């Protein structure tokens, strides 16, 4: 009888010890998760505080460019970890709506008048994105994620709404020639195609 009682006490003690160990491990896991969430929140703040321009000394056009980049970076509709359809290494240039060979309208959607200064587009799936021109290698409405560290620490999400490029080069719509030359120039990039046309 005593032997049986000792055995039952041992089992109860083992269960209590296992229960306590599980509770301690769960508590530590929750702390790790909370720390990871806090770390990610801090990174989100850093992304929002990115400044590629000295805003105090920037022109109105440069401010609109910085604002458009910031709005695009912080758009919540961007689908993270989406697998690219294709990836390219190429060059990125910048253009303005009234360039010598430009009509002020987009080749893929001539109803959009660029003379109002808009350099972004509100896409139903991706939210506010930048506008790029490409060759016919990319269909109108294609969404690309451009990695251009010279311009932004985060990928620039853009939609193909214009034409005029060759090969796999992209041309980013900018608020002014000065901003296009100063911030884009002829930048080496890699980019992923996230959506193939509309």
pLDDT of 134: 97
Under-50 pLDDT residues of the chain: 30-56, 74-78
pTM of the model: 0.63
Are the beta carbons of 151 and 70 closer than 8 angstroms? no
Distance CA(127)–CA(114), nearest Å, equals 18
55-195 topology per CATH: Barwin-like endoglucanases (2.40.40)
Determine the number of helices (DSSP H) and then strands (DSSP E) in the chain. Answer: 3, 7
Cα 157 off chain centre by: 5
Helix axes 60-74, 2-48, angle to 10 degrees: 160
What pLDDT was estimated at residue 53?
Answer: 41
Mean pLDDT score of the chain, rounded to an integer? 77
């Amino acid at each position: 009888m005593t032997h049986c009682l000792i055995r039952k006490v041992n089992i109860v003690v083992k269960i209590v010890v296992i229960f306590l160990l599980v509770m301690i491990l769960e508590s530590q896991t929750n702390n790790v998760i909370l720390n990871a969430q806090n770390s990610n929140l801090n990174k989100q703040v850093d992304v929002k505080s990115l400044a590629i321009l000295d805003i105090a000394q920037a022109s109105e056009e440069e401010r609109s460019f910085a604002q458009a980049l910031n709005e695009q970076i912080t758009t919540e509709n961007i689908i993270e970890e989406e697998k690219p359809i294709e990836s390219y290494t190429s060059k990125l240039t910048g253009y303005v709506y009234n360039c010598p060979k430009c009509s002020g309208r987009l080749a893929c959607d001539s109803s959009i008048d660029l003379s109002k200064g808009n350099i972004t587009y509100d896409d139903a799936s991706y939210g506010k994105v930048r506008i790029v021109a490409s060759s016919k290698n990319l269909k109108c409405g294609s969404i690309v994620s451009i990695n251009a560290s010279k311009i932004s620490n985060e990928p620039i999400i853009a939609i193909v709404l214009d034409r005029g490029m060759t090969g796999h080069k992209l041309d980013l719509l900018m608020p002014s020639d000065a901003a296009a030359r100063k911030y884009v120039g002829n930048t080496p990039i890699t980019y992923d195609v996230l959506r193939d046309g509309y």
